């Protein structure tokens, strides 16, 4: 909102007048400095995150070579086995199955709300989903452990899917994480679909397209960048989710994509290890930070992709 | 003459009506398969919405059924205990209240200031402003447990080193919700139309006077809504506090800079993972308390938005 410079006036042959006040207005400048500092705090936070992760992680990688960290398949830090693969696979197991659940449900709900729902339904369902998105993940984890797992064990069709699940189960955690992510996918995709101009839809109707065809062939492709952004953000949230996987997926490192098995995700390893009694400075303590760096890097890539796609759909239609 | 015109217009109306119904009929005549497919598709969409709503409702209902037997005022005043009979949430509730108060005190001034800088002062063609913006968007999606690591390694230990005390938890949660508050406040500030600012500047107000007396009052409801939603997120967040030692049983009321502390979601997790008879019910009752507080805050935010929403 800064006042424009007087160059244009001068160019037009008019006498240049400064629009700034004659006094220096130190107060205004001090305020601006303070506001800038507050904004810069976010950069400091990121720097602090990176520094606090990298410091101990570098110490860790002095002891444990990168080839062992990424190449070995055993993760037992107390017995000096430092292959991170089981934790990564544990996270991917939960993320994959949660997406298998959340993407169709979330996108279906978004298409319904944006294209089909009567105004009254939309006005009730959308805020409800938004409020439900705020359910603390401890509550969802409690539901997963005390309701979903017993339920799945009761109704398990053993003959087709192998043995019944145990007390912990990656698939149940995935369902819970999926429930947590559905509102995120629905909300962002619905925004993207609603901002597709009505003219595109009307053009398709005029050519004789049915409602389903308009939704799938016109609205979804036009809103694709927003949809991709919502899914990628959902994946990022699923990777970073701690309490649900800690409570429901169990805590045993396991290289398996089977939803019936117990797995340990990267986040639950950090959570469990940090709450135990481990002396600062030991290699075992530093594992928290090594796994943390990997987690931060994975979510960073996802977030940057998501931000990029969101920007694209904002630029096209707004 | 006039009756003639009436008759003609009647005829035209009739003809137009006929043409209209003929066109509509031919448009409705779609191949049978397509009608079926359309219905099926709509059915699938409705099922998707229903699964989402039922799943989320089941979380609430399950907690309520399991916890209602243990729900009483005693629960609020009893101490933390490993014995299900005597277990309560006194220290956790006080801890969470302290945390929320501190988070609001720290988040509001910093978050709103950053938002004002980005909306009112920052020039978008400067690379550092774009960097700050991108950085805030990324920070909003950094996993909570990473903030926990930051709190542990930077605030509790390391450079700041105030120990695993309540204030360290408050700073960690503040940093966690700050990006959300900044993004919401920016939107509120952006929604104030430029004409308000131009009018104020034209009357001789300085830029800061314009912001303080015109822009901020107009943006306050939006900012408040964002702050409440962010604080309710902080209220339910357990993961970063786990790393700050909030998971140990604490049977004394917390002090800002001394001794251990706990918070409601962390104690719920703690009770929930204990296998003893009766413990899951205590945890469920705790979830009901937490959800009730959250519902209250969210409803207040929605009421605020509806009550003070301005259309320019």
Query: pLDDT digit string (tens) for A111-125?
Result: 999 999 998 988 888
Spell B193-230 as b/e; 16+ CB within 10 A means b: eeeebeebbeeebbbbebbeebbbebbebbbbbbbbbb
A139 to chain B: which residues are within 8 Å by CB?
59, 63, 236, 268, 287, 290-291
In chain A, which among 299-318 make CB contacts under 8 A with chain B? 299-300, 302-304, 306-307
In chain A, which among 15-34 make CB contacts under 8 A with chain B? 21, 25, 27-28, 31-32, 34
- Long-range contacts of A281-286, Cβ-Cβ distance < 8 Å, separation of 24 or more: A283/A60, A283/A63, A283/A64, A283/A77, A283/A80, A284/A77, A284/A78, A285/A56, A286/A56, A286/A57, A286/A59, A286/A60, A286/A63
At residue B23, the pLDDT reads 72
**Which range among A87-101, B29-43, B51-65, B173-187 shows the weakest confidence by mean pLDDT?**
B29-43
- Specify the pTM: 0.85
Res. A18 pLDDT band, cuts 50 70 90:
low
What dihedral do alpha carbons B242, B244, B250, B254 form, nearest 10°? -130
DSSP-based three-state secondary structure for A225: helix
In chain A, which among 94-123 make CB contacts under 8 A with chain B? 104-109, 111-113, 116
Res. B1 pLDDT band, cuts 50 70 90:
very low
Res. A3 pLDDT band, cuts 50 70 90:
very low
Mean of the pLDDT values across residues B48-72? 90
At residue B8, the pLDDT reads 63
User: What is the rounded CA–CA span in Å between residue B122 and residue B140?
Assistant: 20
pLDDT exceeds 70 at position B5: no
At residue A20, the pLDDT reads 58
Res. A2 pLDDT band, cuts 50 70 90:
very low
User: What is the rounded CA–CA span in Å between residue B233 and residue B176?
Assistant: 9
Tens digits of per-residue pLDDT, B79-129?
Answer: 888 887 888 888 899 999 999 999 999 999 999 999 999 999 988 888 888
Tens digits of per-residue pLDDT, B106-120?
Answer: 999 999 999 999 999
In chain B, which among 241-300 make CB contacts under 8 A with chain A? 242-243, 245, 247, 265, 268-269, 272-273, 280, 283-284, 287, 290-291, 294-295, 298
DSSP-based three-state secondary structure for A148: helix
A56 at interface of B, judged by CB pairs closer than 8 A: yes
- Who among B134, B145, B236 is closest to A138 (CB)? B236
In chain A, which among 132-191 make CB contacts under 8 A with chain B? 132, 134-143, 145-147, 175, 179, 182-183, 186
- Who among B118, B139, B153 is closest to A46 (CB)? B139
Closest chain A C-alpha to B15 CA, distance in angstroms: 22
Burial of A126 (C-beta count, 10 Å sphere; 0-12/13-18/19+):
middle
Mean model confidence pLDDT for chain A: 86
**Which range among A11-20, B92-101, B177-186, B279-288 shows the weakest confidence by mean pLDDT?**
A11-20
Under 8 Å between Cβ of B267 and B99: no
At residue B161, the pLDDT reads 77
Chain A residue at shortest CA distance from B296: A131
Closest chain A C-alpha to B22 CA, distance in angstroms: 15
At residue A203, the pLDDT reads 93
Under 8 Å between Cβ of B290 and B264: yes
**Which range among A160-164, B60-64, B294-298 shows the weakest confidence by mean pLDDT?**
A160-164
pLDDT exceeds 60 at position A4: no
pLDDT exceeds 90 at position B177: yes
DSSP-based three-state secondary structure for A81: strand
Res. A6 pLDDT band, cuts 50 70 90:
very low
Share above pLDDT 70 across residues of chain B, in percent, rounded to a whole number: 93
At residue A1, the pLDDT reads 41
Tens digits of per-residue pLDDT, A182-210?
Answer: 999 999 999 899 989 999 999 999 998 88
A11 at interface of B, judged by CB pairs closer than 8 A: no
C-beta neighbour count of A181 within 10 angstroms? 28
Estimate the crossing angle of helix B166-190 against helix B90-116, to 10 degrees. 40
Identify from A22, A24, A52 which residue to disrupt to test chain B contact, counting B C-beta atoms within 10 A and taking the largest count: A52
Closest CA to A143 of A156, A130, A152, A131: A152
B298 to chain A: which residues are within 8 Å by CB?
131, 134
Q: Which ipTM score applies to this complex?
A: 0.86
Mean of the pLDDT values across residues B247-257? 75
pLDDT exceeds 50 at position A238: yes
Size of interface A-B (CB pairs under 8 A): 275
Tens digits of per-residue pLDDT, B299-310?
Answer: 888 788 777 766
A275 at interface of B, judged by CB pairs closer than 8 A: yes
At residue A153, the pLDDT reads 83
**Which range among A35-49, A177-191, A272-286 shows the weakest confidence by mean pLDDT?**
A272-286
At residue B215, the pLDDT reads 94
At residue A208, the pLDDT reads 86
Contact check, Cβ <8 Å, A267/B46: no
Contact check, Cβ <8 Å, B49/A134: no
pLDDT exceeds 70 at position A15: no
At residue A66, the pLDDT reads 86
- Dmax (CA) for chain A in angstroms is 91
A60 at interface of B, judged by CB pairs closer than 8 A: no
Q: What is the DSSP letter of B70?
A: G
């Amino acid at each position: 909102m800064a006042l424009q410079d007087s160059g244009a006036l001068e160019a037009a042959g008019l006498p240049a007048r400064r629009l700034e006040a004659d006094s220096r207005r130190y107060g205004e400048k001090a305020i601006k400095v303070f506001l800038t500092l507050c904004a810069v705090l976010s950069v400091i936070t990121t720097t602090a995150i990176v520094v606090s992760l990298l410091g101990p992680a570098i110490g860790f990688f002095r002891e444990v070579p990168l080839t062992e960290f990424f190449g070995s398949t055993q993760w037992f830090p107390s017995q000096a086995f430092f292959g991170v693969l089981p934790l990564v696979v544990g996270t991917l197991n939960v993320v994959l199955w949660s997406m298998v659940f959340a993407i169709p449900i979330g996108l279906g709900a978004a298409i319904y709300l944006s294209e089909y729902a009567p105004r009254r339904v939309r006005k009730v369902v959308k805020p409800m989903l938004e409020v439900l998105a705020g359910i603390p993940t401890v509550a969802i984890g409690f539901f997963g452990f005390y309701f979903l797992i017993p339920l799945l064990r009761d109704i398990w069709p053993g003959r087709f899917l192998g043995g019944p699940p145990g007390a912990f189960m990656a698939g149940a955690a995935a369902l819970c994480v999926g429930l947590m992510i559905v509102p995120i996918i629905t909300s962002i995709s619905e925004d993207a679909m609603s901002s597709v101009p009505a003219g595109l839809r009307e053009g398709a109707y005029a050519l004789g397209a049915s409602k389903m065809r308009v939704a799938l062939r016109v609205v979804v492709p036009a809103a694709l960048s927003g949809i991709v952004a919502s899914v990628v953000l959902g994946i990022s949230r699923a990777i970073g989710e701690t309490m649900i996987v800690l409570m429901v997926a169990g805590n045993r490192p396991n290289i398996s994509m089977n939803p019936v098995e117990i797995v340990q995700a990267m986040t639950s390893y950090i959570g469990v290890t940090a709450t135990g009694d481990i002396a600062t400075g030991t290699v075992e303590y530093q594992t928290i930070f090594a796994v943390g760096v990997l987690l931060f890097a994975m979510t960073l890539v996802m977030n940057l992709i998501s931000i990029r796609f969101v920007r694209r759909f904002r630029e096209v239609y707004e | 003459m006039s009756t003639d015109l009436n008759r003609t217009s009647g005829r035209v109306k009739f003809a137009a009506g006929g043409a209209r119904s003929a066109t509509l009929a031919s448009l409705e005549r779609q191949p049978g398969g397509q009608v079926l497919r359309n219905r099926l598709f709509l059915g699938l969409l409705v099922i998707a919405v229903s699964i989402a709503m039922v799943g989320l409702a089941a979380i609430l209902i399950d907690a309520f059924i399991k916890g209602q037997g243990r729900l009483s005022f005693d629960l609020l005043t009893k101490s933390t205990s490993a014995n299900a009979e005597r277990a309560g949430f006194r220290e956790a509730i006080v801890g969470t209240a302290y945390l929320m108060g501190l988070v609001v005190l720290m988040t509001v001034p910093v978050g709103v200031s950053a938002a004002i800088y980005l909306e009112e002062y920052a020039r978008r063609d400067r690379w550092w402003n774009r960097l700050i913006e991108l950085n805030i968007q990324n920070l909003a999606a950094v996993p909570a447990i990473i903030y926990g690591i930051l709190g542990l390694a930077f605030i509790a230990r390391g450079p700041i080193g105030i120990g695993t005390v309540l204030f360290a938890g408050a700073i960690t949660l503040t940093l966690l919700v700050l990006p959300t508050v900044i993004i919401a406040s920016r939107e509120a500030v952006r929604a104030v139309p430029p004409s308000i600012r131009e009018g104020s500047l034209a009357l001789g107000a300085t830029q800061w006077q314009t912001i303080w007396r015109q822009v901020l009052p107009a943006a306050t409801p939006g900012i408040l809504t964002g702050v409440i939603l962010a604080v309710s997120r902080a209220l339910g967040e357990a993961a970063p506090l786990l790393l700050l030692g909030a998971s140990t049983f604490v049977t004394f009321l917390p002090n800002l800079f001394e001794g251990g502390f706990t918070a409601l979601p962390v104690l719920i997790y703690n009770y929930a993972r204990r296998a003893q008879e009766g413990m899951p019910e205590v945890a469920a009752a705790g979830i009901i308390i937490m959800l009730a507080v959250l519902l209250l805050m969210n409803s207040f935010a929605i009421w605020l938005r509806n009550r003070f929403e301005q259309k320019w």
